[in-house]
């Protein structure tokens, strides 16, 4: 049962996240930030990880704390659901095209958090959503999920398409990395003996 739930409560946010790694991409994401919910739905659908996020945050200030803290909780949930990571593929990569945008993502569920971010947005906002928050989410996810994560924007002129391509590329990379390896179902994918 590769599932986990995380609850996180601060003076700025209250967040509940649940994941099921062997799901079908079902999603129920309610953060109060419409565009972010849309991105989380894409993340679930294209990773085939069932995802439920319920967040209440200080949106009267801005969306920053809600988005970042959701990334923290989701990273923790993924790490918890993976357990000791025995039998997984560990690595994932995907290069995704969406209309004008093309984004490449490569990741390692190494337990060593690191983010390489080469993704630029031509606008500061997508509707009312601050494009800087895309990186904040990815940083929080990588840090608290113990993920080495590289995101590279190859093309793009539309900020919505760029952001969505990034989330979908992440989703497909996660799908590959968390999948059980049929050739090594009981083996930890590391010569160190621990991840």
Domains of the chain, start order:
3-178 (3.30.230.40)
Across the 195 residues of the chain, what is the mean pLDDT of every consecutive 10-residue run?
Answer: 96 98 98 98 98 98 98 98 97 98 98 98 98 98 98 98 98 98 95 89
Q: For the segment 93-106, what is each residue's pLDDT rounded down to a tens digit?
A: 999 999 999 999 99
pLDDT of residue 117: 98
Q: What is the pLDDT of residues 54-106, one digit of tens each?
A: 999 999 999 999 999 999 999 999 999 999 999 999 999 999 999 999 999 99
The crossing angle, in degrees rounded to 10, of helices 132-145 and 159-178 is 10
* pTM of the predicted structure, to 2 decimals: 0.97
How far is C-alpha 33 from the chain's CA centre?
16
Work out whether the CA dihedral 3, 84, 65, 48 comes out positive or negative.
negative
């Amino acid at each position: 049962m590769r599932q986990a739930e995380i609850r996180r409560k601060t003076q700025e946010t209250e967040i509940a996240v649940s994941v099921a790694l062997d799901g079908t991409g079902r999603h129920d994401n309610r953060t109060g930030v419409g565009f972010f919910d849309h991105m989380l739905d894409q993340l679930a659908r294209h990773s085939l990880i069932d995802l439920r996020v319920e967040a209440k945050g200080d949106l009267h200030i801005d969306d920053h704390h809600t988005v970042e803290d959701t990334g923290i909780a989701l990273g923790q949930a993924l790490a918890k659901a993976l357990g000791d990571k025995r039998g997984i593929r560990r690595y994932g990569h995907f290069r995704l095209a969406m209309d004008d945008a093309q984004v490449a993502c490569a990741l390692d569920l190494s337990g060593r958090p690191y983010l390489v971010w080469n993704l630029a947005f031509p606008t500061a906002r997508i509707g009312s959503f601050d494009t800087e928050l895309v990186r904040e989410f990815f940083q929080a996810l990588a840090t608290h999920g113990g993920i080495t994560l590289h995101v590279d924007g190859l093309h793009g002129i539309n900020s919505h398409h760029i952001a969505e391509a990034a989330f979908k590329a992440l989703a497909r990379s996660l799908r590959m990395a968390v999948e059980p390896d049929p050739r090594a179902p009981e083996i930890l994918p590391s010569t160190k003996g621990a991840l």
